[in-house]
């Protein structure tokens, strides 16, 4: 079995594909963190590149294999199939839709399939711990998917992947199209700055909120500590023993400074047991050691920490189950105060802001695509019309076809059309001059052929009788000897008797007429092996090739019989005889 039946492409083809597959797997494995559990995945970029460079089949198989590996080794939910459906739907759209690009096809997928399906899957698989979390996650997926499609489309347009494709069958042409450049420019200049502003604004807002939360915690704990400093030692000892009256006082203090705020205040004794916790049950509060065992801890500033569970259903929900904690020992009776800020509060604020901004994002997407469409209609269609008009322009002008030039108000395009019109006018003038020159050349060529024919006639034929002349006779003999040197041939010399007397008595005109009549009779003997020549004056030769003795006798008898009948010349009857001699070779 031929190995090419199993591996029809070159080794470089499979190496490049494998590298792209590995990069896609790594991009799927390591998402880019943004804030509060929001992550950006670039895995679809790799799959889109595989789709456009290596075909639909390899792209879909790659998506299925990567998803299977993540389900098997990284506990990804088997129902998280949007990753695969995106590639399948875009592949189908790319196959059956002649117009469009990755961004347009991916937008259709997310509007009609990906977005609604994401909301449904999140509702079925996960518990909603924050309002609108499923819609927010779906919007993030839509935004992420469209950015991946845009990035892949830009990479395919401007990076010469075709130079790295080692198989001729796989090589793609490396042209760039103006409509692509305008589309990418419009989308990038509108959407990317908008997303950067939204991202930076949200990040900055969260940093401010985080700083405000810490300041609130500091103020709350300081105020709480000042209140406790005014207590009697006896009350503080009873508080350490979790006295009901003292706990009631603590609740009043917490209510005074925290009230119905979105954060909670916890007071711990020297054994880290909960004395009082506002808005939290005792089971929700853990010791510092327990927090470190259950949560990933990060110190943000002195006494201010971020705790995130090690495991959860997904990254966004893992952060939603975490806290900002301000944990400080009080200078009163070995007590500790903890101010708890649930991260879900910050997430909720981010969700509400982003959901409002997402509507603006959709408006900007539509606006960018509208601008790209208008630019395409204004420039690209005119350029395409001009390209179609000028394609085969010389042939159209030669055929005198009517040229329909596009009309445009764009100055540069109008100048280009004007230049083409001027050039076509020059071409028409050149074609007309060419036709005139061709006619002249044809006439001159005809005259040259006639001249050549006349010169050949003058050089090799007798002008009086039309028979081949002496030069022709000599060349013919040389050719016979050179080509048929071993064959026999005969040369018969024919000389008219008393021709000089006829010429002197009857005149040269009568002599010329006689020579013509004799030549006509000699031509009656011409055949494939018999040629007649006039050497000059009254001398003629007959060349016979090939020749046998019998043929030669018959020809000699025939030549002799030619002079039996008289010849009429200028109303006179002349009896002419000839002397003949034969030379054999």
* Residue-wise pLDDT tens digits, 383-434: 777 777 778 777 777 777 777 777 777 666 677 777 877 788 787 788 788 8
Residue 169 and residue 47 in one domain: yes
- End-of-domain residue from the set 351, 377, 409: 351
Confidence check: pLDDT of 170 > 70: no
Q: What is the pLDDT of residue 432?
A: 80
76: buried, middle or exposed (CB in 10 Å: 19+, 13-18, 0-12)?
middle
Residue 190 lies in a domain: no
- Strand pairing category for 572-574 and 567-569: antiparallel
Confidence check: pLDDT of 532 > 90: yes
The beta-carbon contacts of 241-245 under 8 Å, at least 24 apart in sequence, are 242/269, 242/273, 242/275
Confidence check: pLDDT of 206 > 70: yes
Give the mean pLDDT of 132-136.
76
Residue 109 and residue 19 in one domain: yes
Per-residue confidence at 151, pLDDT binned at 50, 70, 90?
A: very high
Residues 457-505 have pLDDT tens digits of 788 888 888 899 998 999 998 988 888 877 888 999 999 998 888 888 8
- End-of-domain residue from the set 438, 459, 480: 459
Confidence check: pLDDT of 172 > 50: no
Q: What is the pLDDT of residue 130?
A: 65
Residue 454 and residue 479 in one domain: no
Residue 126 and residue 228 in one domain: no
Structural domain tally of the chain? Answer: 4
Q: What is the pLDDT of residue 260?
A: 59
Confidence check: pLDDT of 370 > 60: yes
Percentage of the chain surpassing pLDDT 70? 89
Residue 183 lies in a domain: no
Distances (CA, A) of 293 to 36, 187, 335: 21, 47, 23
Please answer whether residues 114 and 82 qualify as being in contact, where contact means their C-beta atoms are separated by less than 8 angstroms. yes
Residue 362 lies in a domain: no
Q: What is the pLDDT of residue 1?
A: 46
State the CATH number of the domain containing residue 339: 3.30.450
Query: How far, in Å, CA of 180 to CA of 159, rounded?
Result: 13
For 496, the domain range is 470-584
Residue 439 and residue 499 in one domain: no
Residue 33 and residue 132 in one domain: yes
Confidence check: pLDDT of 134 > 90: no
Q: What is the pTM of this model?
A: 0.63
Residues 228-253 have pLDDT tens digits of 888 888 877 877 777 788 788 878 87
Residues 251-260 have pLDDT tens digits of 887 777 766 5
Confidence check: pLDDT of 169 > 50: no
State the CATH number of the domain containing residue 164: 1.10.1760.20
Residue 447 lies in a domain: yes
Percentage of the chain surpassing pLDDT 90? 10
Residue 94 and residue 15 in one domain: yes
- Strand pairing category for 336-342 and 323-329: antiparallel
Please answer whether residues 233 and 307 qualify as being in contact, where contact means their C-beta atoms are separated by less than 8 angstroms. no
């Amino acid at each position: 079995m031929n190995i090419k039946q199993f591996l029809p492409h070159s080794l470089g083809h499979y190496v490049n594909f494998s590298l792209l597959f590995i990069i896609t797997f790594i991009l799927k494995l390591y998402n880019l963190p943004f804030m509060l559990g929001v992550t950006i995945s670039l895995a679809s970029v790799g799959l889109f590149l595989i789709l456009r460079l290596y075909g639909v089949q390899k792209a879909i198989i790659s998506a299925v294999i990567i998803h299977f590996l993540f389900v098997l080794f990284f506990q990804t939910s088997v129902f998280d199939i949007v990753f695969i459906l995106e590639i399948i739907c875009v592949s189908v759209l790319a196959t059956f839709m002649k117009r469009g690009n990755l961004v347009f096809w991916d937008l259709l997928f997310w509007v009609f399939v990906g977005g609604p399906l994401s909301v449904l899957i999140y509702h079925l698989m996960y518990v909603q711990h924050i309002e609108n979390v499923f819609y927010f996650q779906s919007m993030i997926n839509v935004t992420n998917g469209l950015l991946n499609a845009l990035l892949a489309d830009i990479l395919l347009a401007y990076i010469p992947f075709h130079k790295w494709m080692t198989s001729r069958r796989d090589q793609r042409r490396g042209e760039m199209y103006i409509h692509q450049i305008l589309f990418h420019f419009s989308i990038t200049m509108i959407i990317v700055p908008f997303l950067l502003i939204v991202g930076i604004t949200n990040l900055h807002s969260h940093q401010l909120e985080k700083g405000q939360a810490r300041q609130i915690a500091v103020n709350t704990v300081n105020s709480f500590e000042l209140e406790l400093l005014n207590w009697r030692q006896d009350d503080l000892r009873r508080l350490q023993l979790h006295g009901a009256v003292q706990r009631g006082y603590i609740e009043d203090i917490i209510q005074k400074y925290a009230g119905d705020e979105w954060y909670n205040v916890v007071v711990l004794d020297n054994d880290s047991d909960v004395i009082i916790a506002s808005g939290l049950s005792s089971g929700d509060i853990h010791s510092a050691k327990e927090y470190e065992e259950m949560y990933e801890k990060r110190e943000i500033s002195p006494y201010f920490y971020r705790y995130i569970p090690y495991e959860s259903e997904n990254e966004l929900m893992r952060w939603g189950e975490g806290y900002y904690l301000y944990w400080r020992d009080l200078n009163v009776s070995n007590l500790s105060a903890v101010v708890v800020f649930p991260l879900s509060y910050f997430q909720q604020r981010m969700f509400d802001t982003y959901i409002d901004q997402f509507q603006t994002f959709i408006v900007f997407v539509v606006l960018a695509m509208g601008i790209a469409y208008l630019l395409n209609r204004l420039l690209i269609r005119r350029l395409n019309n001009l390209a179609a008009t000028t394609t085969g322009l010389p042939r159209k002008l030669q055929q005198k076809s009517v040229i329909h030039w596009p009309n445009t108000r764009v100055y540069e395009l109008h100048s280009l059309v004007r230049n083409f019109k001027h050039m076509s006018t020059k071409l028409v003038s050149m074609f007309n001059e060419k036709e005139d020159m061709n006619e002249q050349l044809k006439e001159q060529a005809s005259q040259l052929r006639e001249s050549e024919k006349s010169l050949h006639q003058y050089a090799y034929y007798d002008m009086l009788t039309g028979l081949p002349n002496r030069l022709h006779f000599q060349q013919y003999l040389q050719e016979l000897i050179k080509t048929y040197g071993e064959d026999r041939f005969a040369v018969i010399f024919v000389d008219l008797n008393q021709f000089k007397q006829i010429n002197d008595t009857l005149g040269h005109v009568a002599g010329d007429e006689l020579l013509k009549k004799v030549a006509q009779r000699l031509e009656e003997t011409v055949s494939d092996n018999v040629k007649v020549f006039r050497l000059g004056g009254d001398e003629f030769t007959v060349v016979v090739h090939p020749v046998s003795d019998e043929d030669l006798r018959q020809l000699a008898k025939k030549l002799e019989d030619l002079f039996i009948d008289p010849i009429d010349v200028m109303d006179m009857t002349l009896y002419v005889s000839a002397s003949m001699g034969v030379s054999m070779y």
